[in-house]
Amino acid sequence: MPNRFPMQFMAAAVAGAAILLASCASTTIQSTWVDPSFAGGPFKKVFVMGLARDVTSRRVFEDIMVARLQAAGVQAVPAYQYMAEDAQVPEPVFEAAVAKSGADAVLMTRLLGIDTQISASTVMVPGPVMGPGFGPGWGGPGWWGAYNQWWAVPQVTTYQIATAETTLYDASTRRIVWTATSQTFNPQSVQREAPGLADQVIAALRARNLLPAAA
Protein backbone atom coordinates (compact mmCIF):
# COMPACT_ATOMS: atom_id res chain seq x y z
CA MET A 1 0.00 0.00 0.00
CA PRO A 2 2.70 2.61 0.84
CA ASN A 3 4.28 2.08 -2.59
CA ARG A 4 1.19 3.48 -4.29
CA PHE A 5 1.83 7.00 -3.03
CA PRO A 6 5.08 7.69 -4.93
CA MET A 7 3.51 6.54 -8.21
CA GLN A 8 0.49 8.78 -7.62
CA PHE A 9 2.70 11.76 -6.97
CA MET A 10 4.81 10.97 -10.03
CA ALA A 11 1.74 10.70 -12.25
CA ALA A 12 0.36 13.97 -10.92
CA ALA A 13 3.66 15.75 -11.47
CA VAL A 14 4.03 14.56 -15.06
CA ALA A 15 0.42 15.38 -15.90
CA GLY A 16 0.75 18.82 -14.36
CA ALA A 17 3.91 19.56 -16.33
CA ALA A 18 2.26 18.46 -19.58
CA ILE A 19 -0.71 20.73 -18.96
CA LEU A 20 1.59 23.65 -18.18
CA LEU A 21 3.61 23.19 -21.37
CA ALA A 22 0.48 22.81 -23.48
CA SER A 23 -0.88 26.10 -22.15
CA CYS A 24 2.30 28.03 -23.07
CA ALA A 25 1.74 28.27 -26.82
CA SER A 26 3.39 31.48 -27.98
CA THR A 27 5.05 33.07 -31.00
CA THR A 28 8.39 34.85 -30.94
CA ILE A 29 10.49 36.44 -33.68
CA GLN A 30 13.84 34.70 -33.90
CA SER A 31 15.72 36.79 -36.48
CA THR A 32 15.15 39.82 -38.71
CA TRP A 33 16.80 41.58 -41.62
CA VAL A 34 16.13 45.09 -42.91
CA ASP A 35 17.41 46.71 -46.10
CA PRO A 36 20.00 49.24 -44.87
CA SER A 37 19.57 51.30 -48.05
CA PHE A 38 15.83 51.79 -47.63
CA ALA A 39 15.16 55.46 -46.94
CA GLY A 40 11.38 55.56 -47.23
CA GLY A 41 9.09 56.38 -44.37
CA PRO A 42 6.25 54.26 -42.96
CA PHE A 43 4.09 52.44 -45.50
CA LYS A 44 0.49 53.60 -45.53
CA LYS A 45 -1.41 50.60 -46.91
CA VAL A 46 -0.46 46.93 -46.76
CA PHE A 47 -1.46 44.15 -49.16
CA VAL A 48 -1.50 41.00 -46.99
CA MET A 49 -0.88 37.58 -48.50
CA GLY A 50 -0.62 34.19 -46.84
CA LEU A 51 1.23 31.55 -48.86
CA ALA A 52 -0.51 28.23 -48.24
CA ARG A 53 -1.87 25.36 -50.29
CA ASP A 54 -4.95 25.22 -48.09
CA VAL A 55 -7.29 27.96 -49.31
CA THR A 56 -9.15 28.13 -45.98
CA SER A 57 -5.98 28.55 -43.94
CA ARG A 58 -4.74 31.24 -46.33
CA ARG A 59 -7.93 33.26 -46.14
CA VAL A 60 -8.25 32.89 -42.36
CA PHE A 61 -4.66 34.09 -41.95
CA GLU A 62 -5.12 37.06 -44.25
CA ASP A 63 -8.32 38.12 -42.47
CA ILE A 64 -6.66 37.93 -39.06
CA MET A 65 -3.52 39.79 -40.13
CA VAL A 66 -5.61 42.50 -41.81
CA ALA A 67 -7.82 42.84 -38.73
CA ARG A 68 -4.79 43.20 -36.44
CA LEU A 69 -3.21 45.80 -38.71
CA GLN A 70 -6.44 47.77 -38.89
CA ALA A 71 -6.86 47.57 -35.13
CA ALA A 72 -3.35 49.05 -34.87
CA GLY A 73 -4.39 51.94 -37.11
CA VAL A 74 -2.80 50.65 -40.33
CA GLN A 75 -4.72 50.34 -43.60
CA ALA A 76 -4.60 46.78 -44.92
CA VAL A 77 -6.39 44.52 -47.39
CA PRO A 78 -6.36 40.72 -47.89
CA ALA A 79 -4.95 39.42 -51.16
CA TYR A 80 -7.89 37.12 -51.84
CA GLN A 81 -10.18 40.12 -52.40
CA TYR A 82 -8.11 41.13 -55.44
CA MET A 83 -7.02 37.75 -56.78
CA ALA A 84 -9.77 35.46 -57.99
CA GLU A 85 -7.50 32.45 -58.39
CA ASP A 86 -6.70 30.47 -55.26
CA ALA A 87 -3.70 28.80 -56.92
CA GLN A 88 -0.40 30.49 -57.78
CA VAL A 89 -0.91 33.25 -60.34
CA PRO A 90 1.42 34.72 -62.99
CA GLU A 91 3.48 37.72 -61.93
CA PRO A 92 1.55 40.22 -64.10
CA VAL A 93 -1.73 39.15 -62.47
CA PHE A 94 -0.21 39.55 -59.03
CA GLU A 95 1.23 42.98 -59.84
CA ALA A 96 -2.14 44.09 -61.22
CA ALA A 97 -3.88 42.98 -58.03
CA VAL A 98 -1.46 44.94 -55.84
CA ALA A 99 -1.84 48.03 -58.03
CA LYS A 100 -5.64 47.79 -57.97
CA SER A 101 -5.62 47.59 -54.16
CA GLY A 102 -3.73 50.88 -53.88
CA ALA A 103 -1.26 49.35 -51.42
CA ASP A 104 2.28 50.67 -51.21
CA ALA A 105 3.60 47.57 -49.42
CA VAL A 106 3.12 43.80 -49.69
CA LEU A 107 3.35 41.57 -46.62
CA MET A 108 3.80 37.84 -47.31
CA THR A 109 3.92 35.04 -44.77
CA ARG A 110 4.75 31.40 -45.44
CA LEU A 111 5.17 28.37 -43.21
CA LEU A 112 8.68 26.93 -43.48
CA GLY A 113 7.95 23.78 -41.49
CA ILE A 114 6.85 22.13 -38.26
CA ASP A 115 9.42 20.20 -36.23
CA THR A 116 8.64 17.71 -33.48
CA GLN A 117 11.13 17.77 -30.62
CA ILE A 118 11.59 15.74 -27.44
CA SER A 119 12.76 17.14 -24.10
CA ALA A 120 13.93 14.92 -21.23
CA SER A 121 14.49 16.22 -17.70
CA THR A 122 14.19 15.32 -14.03
CA VAL A 123 11.99 17.17 -11.57
CA MET A 124 11.74 16.84 -7.81
CA VAL A 125 8.26 16.39 -6.36
CA PRO A 126 7.08 15.94 -2.76
CA GLY A 127 6.22 12.37 -1.89
CA PRO A 128 4.01 10.92 0.85
CA VAL A 129 4.70 11.88 4.46
CA MET A 130 5.35 8.72 6.47
CA GLY A 131 5.79 8.48 10.17
CA PRO A 132 5.09 10.99 12.93
CA GLY A 133 8.33 12.93 12.40
CA PHE A 134 8.86 15.50 15.16
CA GLY A 135 5.18 16.08 15.76
CA PRO A 136 2.65 18.35 14.06
CA GLY A 137 4.23 20.77 11.64
CA TRP A 138 3.43 22.96 8.66
CA GLY A 139 1.09 21.22 6.23
CA GLY A 140 1.69 17.66 7.46
CA PRO A 141 2.09 15.39 10.45
CA GLY A 142 5.72 16.32 10.88
CA TRP A 143 8.34 18.56 9.34
CA TRP A 144 10.98 15.84 9.05
CA GLY A 145 8.60 13.60 7.15
CA ALA A 146 7.81 16.38 4.70
CA TYR A 147 11.48 17.35 4.31
CA ASN A 148 12.67 13.79 3.79
CA GLN A 149 10.12 12.65 1.18
CA TRP A 150 11.10 14.18 -2.17
CA TRP A 151 11.17 12.08 -5.30
CA ALA A 152 13.14 12.44 -8.53
CA VAL A 153 10.65 12.11 -11.39
CA PRO A 154 11.81 11.52 -14.98
CA GLN A 155 9.89 13.72 -17.39
CA VAL A 156 9.78 13.29 -21.17
CA THR A 157 7.87 15.91 -23.13
CA THR A 158 7.10 15.97 -26.85
CA TYR A 159 6.37 19.35 -28.42
CA GLN A 160 6.23 21.01 -31.81
CA ILE A 161 7.84 24.16 -33.18
CA ALA A 162 6.35 25.86 -36.25
CA THR A 163 8.71 28.17 -38.15
CA ALA A 164 7.33 30.88 -40.43
CA GLU A 165 8.87 33.56 -42.61
CA THR A 166 7.27 36.99 -43.03
CA THR A 167 8.54 39.42 -45.67
CA LEU A 168 7.66 43.04 -46.39
CA TYR A 169 8.08 44.36 -49.95
CA ASP A 170 8.04 47.89 -51.29
CA ALA A 171 5.25 47.75 -53.90
CA SER A 172 6.84 50.47 -56.03
CA THR A 173 10.24 48.78 -56.39
CA ARG A 174 9.21 45.14 -55.67
CA ARG A 175 12.24 44.87 -53.40
CA ILE A 176 12.43 43.26 -49.97
CA VAL A 177 12.51 45.89 -47.25
CA TRP A 178 12.24 43.67 -44.17
CA THR A 179 12.06 39.96 -43.46
CA ALA A 180 11.84 37.86 -40.30
CA THR A 181 11.58 34.27 -39.13
CA SER A 182 9.33 33.41 -36.23
CA GLN A 183 8.67 30.32 -34.15
CA THR A 184 5.46 29.18 -32.51
CA PHE A 185 5.52 26.69 -29.65
CA ASN A 186 2.94 23.89 -29.92
CA PRO A 187 0.84 25.44 -32.70
CA GLN A 188 -2.84 24.51 -32.60
CA SER A 189 -4.45 26.18 -35.61
CA VAL A 190 -4.16 29.22 -37.88
CA GLN A 191 -7.16 30.76 -36.12
CA ARG A 192 -5.43 30.52 -32.76
CA GLU A 193 -1.82 31.34 -33.64
CA ALA A 194 -2.18 34.04 -36.32
CA PRO A 195 -3.09 36.86 -33.88
CA GLY A 196 0.11 36.34 -31.90
CA LEU A 197 2.23 36.31 -35.04
CA ALA A 198 0.49 39.43 -36.34
CA ASP A 199 1.14 41.34 -33.12
CA GLN A 200 4.82 40.38 -33.16
CA VAL A 201 5.22 41.44 -36.79
CA ILE A 202 3.41 44.75 -36.31
CA ALA A 203 5.55 45.63 -33.28
CA ALA A 204 8.77 44.77 -35.15
CA LEU A 205 7.78 46.79 -38.22
CA ARG A 206 6.85 49.79 -36.10
CA ALA A 207 10.19 49.59 -34.33
CA ARG A 208 11.82 50.02 -37.76
CA ASN A 209 9.49 52.90 -38.72
CA LEU A 210 8.03 50.78 -41.52
CA LEU A 211 4.46 51.18 -40.25
CA PRO A 212 2.77 54.32 -38.90
CA ALA A 213 3.07 54.87 -35.16
CA ALA A 214 0.07 54.11 -32.97
CA ALA A 215 -2.40 56.99 -32.81
The region of weakest confidence among 47-56, 130-139, 146-155, 162-171 is: 130-139
Indicate yes or no: pTM above 0.75.
no
| Cβ-contact 178, 44 below 8 angstroms | no
The predicted pLDDT at position 142 comes to 55
Q: How many CB atoms lie within 10 A of CB 164?
A: 26
The domain locations on the chain are 26-118+156-207, 120-153
Architecture, CATH, for domain 26-118+156-207? 3-Layer(aba) Sandwich (3.40)
Task: Kindly report the backbone phi and psi dihedral angles of residue 193, in degrees, each rounded to the nearest multiple of 5, phi listed first.
Answer: -90, -25
45-49: average pLDDT: 97
Task: Kindly report the backbone phi and psi dihedral angles of residue 11, in degrees, each rounded to the nearest multiple of 5, phi listed first.
Answer: -60, -40
Q: Which of 42-46, 114-118, 141-145, 184-188 has the highest mean pLDDT?
A: 42-46
pLDDT-based confidence at 119, cuts 50/70/90?
confident
pLDDT tens-digit profile of 152-200?
A: 777 778 878 999 999 999 999 999 999 999 999 988 889 999 999 999 9
